[in-house]
Amino acid sequence: MTNILHIKSSILGDAGQSNQISQKFVDQYLITHGGSELTVRDLSENPIPHLTGEAIGGYALAPEDRTEAQAEAAALSDTLINELRTADIIVMGLPMYNFGVSSSMKAWIDYVARAGETFTYTENGPVGLLKGKKAYIFAARGGKYFGTATDTQTGFIETILKFFGIVDYEIVYAEGLNMGDEPKADALAAANVKVAELAAA
Ligand SMILES: Cc1cc2nc3c(=O)[nH]c(=O)nc-3n(C[C@H](O)[C@H](O)[C@H](O)COP(=O)(O)O)c2cc1C
């Protein structure tokens, strides 16, 4: 059985383009890959709080020594890491907000990036601990930045995936979504073609 984790990070929920495109991929993938199990982590429906120093300080403590806030943060981090660890396929709806990922996606990353859990430090630098996974990233942008230095959204997410050891990934871009009706329709049509290709593979 294949476990799919769908992480939605648009602030617009189901109206978000990145959520809609990634949802189309998931729907088609489930049809073409029978027997798959789906877990959804919707970051606008269930917002993740900012990580705090107190929360991080609690990770290393025995459960009985944690404050209530530390226990809650550790439980949330454990849950999110477990979802990631058990996933074979990771699907992300990834909007560009102010040249980066959404603050909800950043908060998710802050809770799952934990030494000894998703990566470890070695003499040769950090090594990712999440092996053998495949990620599909559906990036939505109002403007067009593919291949430019201002594409600080997907570059960042690629760095994070590799840091966790996830080296097999596909990125689908829906760009120019706020540049008028025609560019938007063209971008969504092109993204839908990629969605169908990837879901059928
Ligand atoms: C708060 C905010 C910031 C945005 N910043 C950018 C940006 O820096 N560059 C860009 O091309 N589009 C930007 N946009 C437009 C979004 O990338 C575009 O609306 C895209 O569809 C967002 O994905 P979503 O529909 O899944 O939320 C921004 C939109 C919002 C709401």
CATH number at residue 76: 3.40.50.360
The rounded Å distance from CA 126 to ligand 1 centre is: 32
pTM (two decimals) = 0.96
Domains identified in the chain, total number: 1
Q: What is the pLDDT of residue 55?
A: 97
Q: Domain range for residue 43?
A: 3-200
pLDDT at 31: 94
| 176 alpha carbon – ligand 1 mean position (Å) | 10
Please report, rounded to a whole number, the percentage of residues in the chain having pLDDT higher than 90: 98
Q: What are phi and psi of 54, to 5 degrees?
A: -60, -40
DSSP state of 65: G
What ligand 1 atom has the least distance to the C-alpha of 21? 26
Residue 132's identity, in one-letter code, is G
Rounded to the nearest angstrom, the distance between the alpha carbon of 147 and the centre of ligand 1 is 18
- The residue whose CA has the least distance to atom 31 of ligand 1 is 97
Cβ contacts of residue 196 below 8 Å, gap of 6+? 28
Mean pLDDT (whole number) for 43-51: 96
Q: Whose CA is nearest to atom 4 of ligand 1?
A: 97
Mean pLDDT within 150-178: 97
Q: pLDDT confidence of 35, banded at 50, 70, 90?
A: confident
Question: Tokens representing 193?
Answer: 């073609």
Cβ atoms of 138 and 172 within 8 Å: the answer is: yes
pLDDT at 8: 98
Q: Is 183 a pocket residue for ligand 1 (Cβ < 6 Å)?
A: no
Q: Is the CB of 150 under 6 A from ligand 1?
A: no
Q: Give the number of other CB atoms < 10 A from CB of residue 90.
A: 23
State the pLDDT at residue 1. Answer: 86
AA letter at 189: A
Mean pLDDT of all residues in 51-65: 96
Find the 72 Cα to ligand 1 centroid distance in Å: 31
CA pair distance 161, 13, nearest whole angstrom: 23
Q: Is 178 in the pocket of ligand 1 (CB under 6 A)?
A: yes
CB 22 less than 6 A from any atom of ligand 1: no
What's the chain's average pLDDT? Answer: 96
